[in-house]
Structure 1
Amino acid sequence: MVYLFLVLGFLLLIKGADWFVTGASELARIFAVPPLLVGLTIVAFGTGAPEATVSIIAALEGNPGVTIGNVIGSNIINIAGVVGITAILLPLKVEGQTVRKEIPFTLIASIALLALVADVGVDGEASNMLSRGDGLVLLLFFLIFMYYIIELALNSRDTAMESGVENRSAKSEAKWKKSSVFTLLGLAAVILGGYWVVESSTDIALRFGMSETLVGLTIVAIGSSLPEFVTSITAALKKYSDLALGNIVGSCIFNILFVLGASSIISPLLIDVKIFTDTVVMILFTVLLLIFSRTGWKVGRVEGILFVVFYLGYLFYIILRN
């Protein structure tokens, strides 16, 4: 049954991502919203739902290694693995706004996380704990990000209205309803498929004697990142490269600020000292993404290959570390 759910999960992910991207991109066209904005919000938060589900459940069950490992591991594979493979298949064009604002915000969120988990207690030693207070700080950053997104959406809508893009016809309303159904069905399939893949693959991994932290950084992270992977590949193949990259950047921000913020408020997370290295790796990959994005305003095949090679090297390192 475990292997059956694993296969069914993959099938749901693939078909769900196709419906999700089709519906979301059509909604963006109808309402004259930039695909990047859709990627940063609806698509990013939707594909980030498996990480949120797994991390919050792990926090409730008292498994901090899975919670923090899932988020750090997911962000690493999102940036290095998903962006890398997607760029190899189809070079990703990068909006100037993404380079100036969204990717730097991801970097700031990553550095803030490192500072919070490595803060020094009254005894002069690192507390190695993500406390409820730290969770509130992360959620505050998330609210700032959401304020920025709302401002961006309002400005885009004002521009569309000035250009006379809005169309209130009955045909447009019918398309809106159909696209909404496709988006919701696709999102439901992506979340359910991601959940089945994570649960079944984690069960299989634990049977082979993998540690809780390693399971979080690898099996759970890769499994819960499959929605981002399939969605970004689908978006890139449909020529929505800005939606694909927006999905990755938005998911990384969502994972750090909302998922870890909410999880640590539910239950303070004790941090394995090994996670500090992984957090630094996540920051380095984010810096690389920022650098690569400025080379011709795209992430090309060469950069994609480098990302994949670096991720495979990191994967080899953490398996040996276990």
Structure 2
Amino acid sequence: MLSFVFLVIGFALMIWGADKFVAGASALARKLGVSPLLIGLTIVAFGTSMPELAVSVTAALRGANEIAVGNVVGSNIFNLLMVAGLSAAVCPLVMDKTLLRRDWPLSILAAVLLLGAIAPDLTIARWEGVVLLIIFAFILTYQIRTALRNREQLAAAAAEAEAEEAEAPMSAAMIGVNILLGLACIVIGGQLAVNGATGIARMFGLSETLIGLTIVAMGTSLPELVTSIVAARKGQNDIAMGNVIGSNLFNIFLILGVSSVITPIPVQATSIVDCLFLIAISAVFYLPARKGKLGRVPGIAMVAMYAVYTVYLIMR
């Protein structure tokens, strides 16, 4: 009974928190005069990637970080197929040109680099982790510099949008409260939902391995899922897709970079298959997105493909 209560409270907290988080993030973009895409790629992506970071770094510190790659690759697959797919199914997503030209291809490159690191010796060495962190620092710096170059134009557009709004612009203090309180509710709600779902799964006699491959892996990506769907429903397409692609970049470059610097990461051979699958779906669904819109049909196809992948995980 307690597991069901945890599950309901967890989802309620995540939905309420995501609403506040998205509102605060979009207000922050207007206040700073930068693109909502940048906020989605950085602040929102980092915030919703906190569960993956916590799981991977904690495992690394305990010397058991062989789960880190599975957690990251599994989360990236979930982000792309379920988070982006469900968001598009709920409300077709208009694609930002910068995201299509720069950030989505970078996420494909990240998966290719990860495959190149693990395929030869089934290990991510410390020096490879350092390389991932250097690349991440370069990408983040480039994204911020590009956004700041366009700041004046975006600030003018934001001021015009605020002038058309019936409600007063959000104060700096309220922006901070919305972002921090929303993020806290998302993370706490996600943990409660995972605990509740795990308890229910055990009650029905599911194995620990199956629970780990499905519920726990999906659970660390629940913040991305709820945040992107709420953003899509609010018409904040840049935040919705920026969150997905940004989280995937954070997961590979930052989380695996930090984890492997702490201690080299041994990798299971099945991770190579998962990496190849991530590269394939990233490239395949980039094609319809390049037309400028990710519609309901591709979105439903992405969700269906994740269902097939989940069946594969259960059977292997």
Q: Which amino acid aligns with 1:60?
A: L
Per-residue deviation, 1:249: 0.5
* Residue in 2 that maps onto 1:154: 148
* Residue in 1 that maps onto 2:163: none
C-alpha distance in structure 1 between counterparts of 2:157 and 2:124, whole Å: 47
Which residue of 305, 308, 313 corresponds with 1:310? 305
Q: Which amino acid aligns with 2:130?
A: L
- Alignment pair present for 1:281 and 2:282: no
How big is the alpha-carbon RMSD for the aligned residues of Structure 1 and Structure 2?
Answer: 2.4
Aligned ranges for residues 1-322 of structure 1 at < 5 Å?
A: 1-119=2-120, 127-160=121-154, 165=159, 175-199=171-195, 201=197, 208-211=206-209, 215-295=211-291, 297-321=292-316
Deviations, residues 133-188 of structure 1 (Å, cap 9, x unaligned): 2211111111111111221232132434688959xxxx989622212211111011
* Residue in 2 that maps onto 1:123: none
2:285 counterpart SS class: helix
In the alignment of these two chains, the number of paired residues is 307
Per-residue deviation, 1:205: 5.7
C-alpha distance in structure 2 between counterparts of 1:194 and 1:164, whole Å: 32
Per-residue deviation, 1:191: 1.9
C-alpha distance in structure 1 between counterparts of 2:186 and 2:238, whole Å: 20
CA contact (8 A) 1:30 1:172 kept: no
Q: Which amino acid aligns with 2:82?
A: G
Per-residue deviation, 1:2: 5.0
* TM-score after normalising by structure 2: 0.89
Deviations, residues 84-131 of structure 1 (Å, cap 9, x unaligned): 111111100001111110000101111000000113xxxxxxx21112
C-alpha distance in structure 2 between counterparts of 1:209 and 1:62, whole Å: 24
C-alpha distance in structure 2 between counterparts of 1:10 and 1:65, whole Å: 29
Cα separation, partners in 2 of 1:298 and 1:161, compared to 1, 3 Å: closer
CA contact (8 A) 2:27 2:170 kept: no
C-alpha distance in structure 2 between counterparts of 1:94 and 1:231, whole Å: 17
CA contact (8 A) 1:73 1:218 kept: no
* TM-score after normalising by structure 1: 0.88
* Residue in 2 that maps onto 1:124: none
Cα separation, partners in 2 of 1:60 and 1:15, compared to 1, 3 Å: same
